[in-house]
Amino acid sequence: MALLEGKVAIITGAGRGLGKAYAELLAREGAAIVINDIGQDDDGGSLAENVAASIQSNGGNAVAHTQDISQIENGQSLLETALDSFGRVDILINNAGILRDKSLAKLEETDWDLVIKVNLKSMYAVTRPVFSWMKENGGGVIVNTTSVSALAGNFGQSNYAASKGGVWAFTNVLALEGAKAGVRVWALAPAAVSALTAPLLSEEMQAELAPEHAAEAVLYMVSDLSGTRTGHCLFASGQSIKELKLVAAEGIPGGGKDSSVNARFIAESEDKIFRPENSLTIQDFSS
């Protein structure tokens, strides 16, 4: 039996790349899909409508939503599209996002504001109505797209990393707020080839980093295969699947008014405070 038979999934940014791969796999596993994307193909056609038509032609069930979800009213209309078309929503995958890479000294306010608007505000605009509906109607699963750039840093991506770090924090809170109502919330840090990176990669690397590999991780997350798990962040690519999490070192104890914790003692105790052996950089996820 298909893993998502009878389920309804909303996927943002699903007109190409990772979002399209998610939509196609979830549709094959029985889910009805609401495809959100504002993009157009080279002929001026709607990417969202193209993907929906392709899914339908292969026996699946899908509809397109082409409005800008960084606007509050369009986040609400995305939920309404799912309810009007399929009567419910069980899965939300917040995948939409953009890049405007520049070092901070060269980063203009417009580049900062646009990335925060698309990557973070749109997640609020979409998730708030869907999350509320799920809480009142038996639960569901939400997957929010973060990035290794947010957790490990990447040169020239202060705006992008800040937005994706916000997504990670947003996810942690929603997992707590949704637990009693059966709403499971994940963060996903995917790595996959894109139209921009494909020319830079060998055919072998393109195959290893195909979006379909990350899509299998998403299917695990939103299906019953993952049980009651919530509040986790997964890194997913063709090369590996691993949980990313915040950890603390042994540290040094605090004390009362007679505590010896001062700047010199801190310097002498660095081996207990820092854990360099467990530190990761973005290069660890791209080699």
Catalytic residues: 160
Q: What distance in Å separates the CA atoms of residue 70 and residue 98, rounded to the nearest whole number?
A: 12
- C-alpha distances in Å from residue 132, one per residue of 6, 93, 127, 198, 233: 21, 15, 8, 39, 22
Q: What distance in Å separates the CA atoms of residue 269 and residue 250, rounded to the nearest whole number?
A: 10
Residues 194/138, Cβ–Cβ less than 8 Å = no
Q: What distance in Å separates the CA atoms of residue 242 and residue 192, rounded to the nearest whole number?
A: 15
| DSSP summary character for residue 118 | I
Q: What distance in Å separates the CA atoms of residue 21 and residue 218, rounded to the nearest whole number?
A: 10
Task: Reduce the secondary structure of 110-151 to three states and give it as a string.
Answer: HHHHHHHHHHHHHHHHHHHHHHHHHHHCCCEEEEEECCHHHH
Terminus-to-terminus CA distance in the chain, angstroms?
37
Q: CA-based diameter of the chain, in Å?
A: 74
Residues 133/89, Cβ–Cβ less than 8 Å = yes
